[in-house]
Structure 1
Amino acid sequence: MVRILCTLTVVSILATSPALVWAGSPVQFDVGYLTPANDVTTPEFQNARPGFRLLQMDLMISTMVDSRVADDLIETTFFVELHNPRIQIEDFSPQTTLQSPYAGNISKENRTELDLNGKLSANERFDKSLGADATLGFNRKQATVEKVDVLPELKLVAASGTIHRGRGVYFRFNRTKQTSLEGTTMLGIVLAVPESWSADTMSVRCQAKIRQSVVPGAPSQETELPESQYTVAIYQAGERYAAEVAERYIQEESRWIETKRKYADEIHDRRKDSPLDYLTSIVRPSKPIGNIDQYLARSPKQATRELPPPVVDAYFRFQQAKSLMDGCSGLRPLANSRALDKTIANAPITIEVSDE
């Protein structure tokens, strides 16, 4: 009987806590993979910062909330972190915002009333038939009314500021009775970039916090949901080559991540997935290679011999896209010497050949 009651209690708790039964996160974010930036350089800025330009971009972030936790979502936070150390955040919006639940000021009235009443009576009798009576009375009433307007208490609705010494910015939004955290949020960011800049990348991290009771009747507690992270490419609006480089970078990065996930076992065992490789791994087990990116960068020739061709192909295609992006962002290319290897994945690709 006790066991049945415990089981029912657990089921009840799970049923009343949507965050526990949700397969993923009850709050889903979405960010576009490409963002254009418009030149907004002013003569004053050119005089103050020679060699730099101002670019303004609008970053749109969508937030979708499961209806079961719509009333529990209390806060969302977005971090925008630039990968190029030469880029600085010059301005951003929205700025820190305070809001009141009241439409206007609060009127406060102080009323003071003074009411005085007095009566004096005098009676003198000379005999039974002769006498005098006198009565004196007064009444005074005074009322004072003072009206003042009091500013209402303001609550934090949005907060923002720079991070990483000006190379990033954060935006935090709190839910109020007049606002909702679900839907589209538009973030405006102004960047100071070198004159030769035309494209770059940045990371966008999205966080959400809910407040709910795990056990019915218990005090509610705040819970941070799993973070979502995205790589977003920036390019100067009107620059076709920069837009193509930015789009190619995102595509090749996504392909490389998916390839690593697909061939995780083969990468771990350092084999090309053939019967001979299986036999060799039994006789002489291979050691874990650790970080696959570092292994390919450190020993590309050995990695080419040991890893499946699609893995090597995806890696070097991503490195080529990254090198093109570095050229647009003004960063130094990853390597000075390159060679063309047509034996990898039966396709001509550019790869690094130096073993350092």
Structure 2
Amino acid sequence: MPFRIYFLLIAISIPHADAVSVAEGSKSIVHFDIPPSVAADVIEADKGRASLRVDLKLSSMISSPETARIDQWLVRCQPRGQFASIVDYSPRTETGSDIATPIQVKQSKEKQQSLGVGVNSDYFSSFRGNAGLDHTRKNIDSLQFDHLAPVHAVTAAGTINRGTGVYFKLRWTAEQILEGQKTFQLVLDVPNTWRTGLIDISVVAQSEHKSFASWEQSTKTLGSANFVIAVYRSDDIHACEVARRMANAEHQLRSRMKEETASKPSNSLSTLLRKMTTKMEFEKTRTSTDLLERLMFNQADPYLDSDIRKLPMPCRLAALNYSDAQESFTRLNEQPINK
């Protein structure tokens, strides 16, 4: 009997230690935020097509009291579906240097020739003579010029997925701090009857460092986030109201998921046994963040998905409300504009 008890305690302690290490490693020190909806301004309309300008204001906060080294942001913006193509974007690729002025290079070449002749003579004890000849020639060639300082990409940007999306890569430099709010601008080409659309946004903050065990550099993720942005015409009042309802549904869904996660006792015996059983059966557990993102990116049916159906009733209702709100927003393209 004592042997069985000790064996059970050892088996429980193993997944518990793993769970703590995963939880500590998953803590992010960089947190991102972006408004859930944005109004797009029509800047040009011709031949059944329209150009829309969309301003995305992405904010970041570093929660660590010590200054964290963030080497770069990587932001991807992908309009969902086939409703739009990228016409223009900002910021564009920019270069910079850690050296403010050009590097001065000075080269000098020196040539020196010397010739000397000396004669000493001594005739008897009373006569002495000394004669000498010395000739020196020196040439110095000097060349001085300015060398351009080496540059690197401060901001890199370009299209992805055959011109339907955009990426931005921002590096931390002496003149660019990766904290606070930054604005990314997209210009989309859409049909003239377009009213609403969704843009999927992913952002990750990374740093490069060398480990003690290896000389090779490795990339560490300090924070990441995924968002779905509701975009509508700035002159479409009804679409603005539907986008606001979708934002409220998302807020309710996030709150319910957060409450569900906080209510679970992480150190109880039943939780530890469930984690141990999951590890032994090689089952993949779904976190609240995974479920939330699957709903937002329309990768799960809240009526049929088995993981969502296991949630408590308040979470399930919030998931259904958000899914219905997102569908109502996208279906506005099937209706004429009523300003």
Q: TM-score range by the shorter chain?
A: 0.5 to 0.7
CA offsets 1:36-61 (integer angstroms, 9 cap, x no match): 2222227xxx4xxx321111121111
Equivalent residue in structure 2 for 1:326, among 312, 324, 331: 331
What residue number does 2:31 align with?
28
Q: Which amino acid aligns with 2:168?
A: F
What residue number does 2:117 align with?
120
Larger radius of gyration: 1
CA gap 1:324/1:217 in 2 versus in 1, 3 angstroms: closer
Equivalent residue in structure 2 for 1:249, among 214, 229, 246: 246
CA offsets 1:99-128 (integer angstroms, 9 cap, x no match): 110112111100112222222245688998
CA contact (8 A) 1:121 1:135 kept: yes
| Deviation (angstroms), 1:249 | 2.8
What residue number does 2:4 align with?
none
1:251-330 equivalences under 5 Å are 251-255=248-252, 292-295=301-304, 315=320, 318-319=323-324, 322-328=327-333
The CA distance in 2 between the partners of 1:247 and 1:191, in whole Å, is: 22
1:1-356 equivalences under 5 Å are 21=24, 24-41=27-44, 46=46, 50-68=47-65, 70-122=67-119, 134-211=131-208, 221-225=218-222, 227-255=224-252, 292-295=301-304, 315=320, 318-319=323-324, 322-328=327-333
Q: Which amino acid aligns with 2:171?
A: N
CA gap 1:218/1:119 in 2 versus in 1, 3 angstroms: closer
Q: Which amino acid aligns with 1:193?
A: V
| Deviation (angstroms), 1:94 | 1.3
Local SS of the residue matching 1:111: strand
The CA distance in 1 between the partners of 2:24 and 2:320, in whole Å, is: 37
The CA distance in 2 between the partners of 1:316 and 1:107, in whole Å, is: 66
Q: Which amino acid aligns with 1:85?
A: Q
CA contact (8 A) 2:90 2:185 kept: yes
CA contact (8 A) 2:239 2:329 kept: no
What residue number does 1:351 align with?
none
CA offsets 1:77-114 (integer angstroms, 9 cap, x no match): 11111113120111111122221101121111001122
CA offsets 1:269-311 (integer angstroms, 9 cap, x no match): xxxxxxxxxxxxxxxxxxxxxx553539xxxxxx9xxx96995
Local SS of the residue matching 2:248: helix
TM-score (norm 2): 0.66
The CA distance in 2 between the partners of 1:316 and 1:34, in whole Å, is: 17
The CA distance in 2 between the partners of 1:317 and 1:112, in whole Å, is: 77
Q: Which amino acid aligns with 2:304?
A: Y
| Deviation (angstroms), 1:314 | 6.8
Q: Report sequence identity in percent.
A: 23
Deviation larger for 316-325 or 70-79:
316-325
Q: Which amino acid aligns with 2:77?
A: V
The CA distance in 2 between the partners of 1:213 and 1:311, in whole Å, is: 45
| Deviation (angstroms), 1:146 | 0.5
Q: Which amino acid aligns with 2:30?
A: V
Gaps of 5+ in 1: 1-18, 265-290, 297-302, 332-356
CA offsets 1:308-350 (integer angstroms, 9 cap, x no match): 699569736843662343223x59xxxxxxxxxxxxxxxxxxx
Gaps of 5+ in 2: 1-21, 262-299
CA gap 1:189/1:144 in 2 versus in 1, 3 angstroms: same
The CA distance in 2 between the partners of 1:106 and 1:20, in whole Å, is: 49
Q: CA RMSD in A?
A: 4.1
The CA distance in 2 between the partners of 1:214 and 1:131, in whole Å, is: 80
TM-score (norm 1): 0.63
CA gap 1:178/1:256 in 2 versus in 1, 3 angstroms: closer
| Deviation (angstroms), 1:194 | 0.9
